[in-house]
Amino acid sequence: MKNVTIVICNYNYERYLVAAIDSALAQDYPGTEVLVIDDGSTDGSRAIVESYGSRVRAVFKENGGQVSAYNHAIGLLDTDYVIFLDSDDVLYPSAVSEVMRLFDGGAWSKVQFRLDVMDRDGALTGASVPHSQPPHDCGKLLRGGWLYPSPPASGNAYRVSALRQIFPVPEEGVNRYGADFYAIYGVALTGPIATVPKSLGGYRVHNAGGETVSFANSEQLTKAPRAFNMRWAILRNLAMDRLGIELPPAFLDFSHEKATFCSNLYHAKLFSRWSWMLHHSRSYLHTIIANPFWSLKKKLGTLVLSSLCLVPYSPLSDFAVRYIANPLARRRVAGR
């Protein structure tokens, strides 16, 4: 049997850490190992980790950020496969068994799966991510600049040898966070990607609700576009230096573009909304019309919703922005 490590990188998440570790230990795949990397927590995380004794392998390091924690973990791995579980997320008991069925049947660099969206208390919201399934050859699309649909960090299982073609990643300065970006997209340049077509874990959204345009936990809406541009530039250098692959200077991704779209249109005056759409929406519209992962129906629906953001009645236009940005807003409407 091939062994798999579940790595839990933690920083000051004592409130959620027990649920994450318990879900890792509850896997029905016998060859599962659990490694906890505590990145210099100042809360009660260390005591929680130590309470598990020999059931988990624990590493306590000085705070260096998420990239530092990933670099450290990948250097320690002695299994062929790994799942990086965020310390506020959970895996369902069959997660490792399901991904290993695919790894055993093909030379995949990564196997990904959906995550059910939870609120901060762990209650399911009815939403799941991602909403689209990518093709196996995501690397070809990446070489054309397209970021493929992927779940957040916890929804990805990697072949360790593929990760080591990308990592270690520079961790200095502003590049302390976003390690999952390099894992998710960098690994796709090393080989094909497989998808388990069902949810195998829970993704905790701390600001869960349909009354906000924000959906991601780690970064503010206005900061995310700048961070992604920086990470793409670093990934380009890594791809060229380590794989001999030249990526284009800019990337295409609807999630990235909608963050820019929403930050400019939400609560904006009518003139400002129209001005942005007339003069700055080219990339946003391109990632809808030319999107290689979407059906025609989804493209048309998103274009119609985008047009509603320009109506003079601000409650309707702001609702349309929230509906585009936040999957939980859609579930709320569906449940009415």
Q: What is the pLDDT of residues 188-224, one digit of tens each?
A: 999 999 999 999 999 998 865 555 555 455 444 455 6
Alpha-carbon separation of residue 293 from 9, 132, 137, 147, 218 (angstroms): 31, 7, 12, 10, 25
Half-sphere exposure of 296 (CA within 13 A, CB side): 0
Q: How far is Cα 142 from Cα 289, in angstroms, rounded to an integer?
A: 18
Supply the pLDDT for residue 25. Answer: 98
Output 28 or 216, whichever has higher pLDDT. 28
pLDDT beyond 90 at 158: yes
Pick the CATH number of 4-243 from 3.30.230.10, 3.30.1330.40, 3.30.360.10, 3.90.550.10: 3.90.550.10
Q: Tell me the whole-structure pTM to 2 decimals.
A: 0.91
pLDDT band at 228, cuts 50/70/90?
Answer: confident
- Arithmetic mean of pLDDT, 231-250: 96
Per DSSP, the three-state class of 187 is helix
Supply the pLDDT for residue 197. Answer: 93
**Beta-carbon count within 10 A of 244 CB:** 7
Tens digits of residue pLDDT in 3-13: 999 999 999 99
- Arithmetic mean of pLDDT, 248-274: 92
Output 33 or 326, whichever has higher pLDDT. 33
Tens digits of residue pLDDT in 87-110: 999 999 999 999 999 999 999 999
Domain boundaries, the chain: 4-243, 254-335
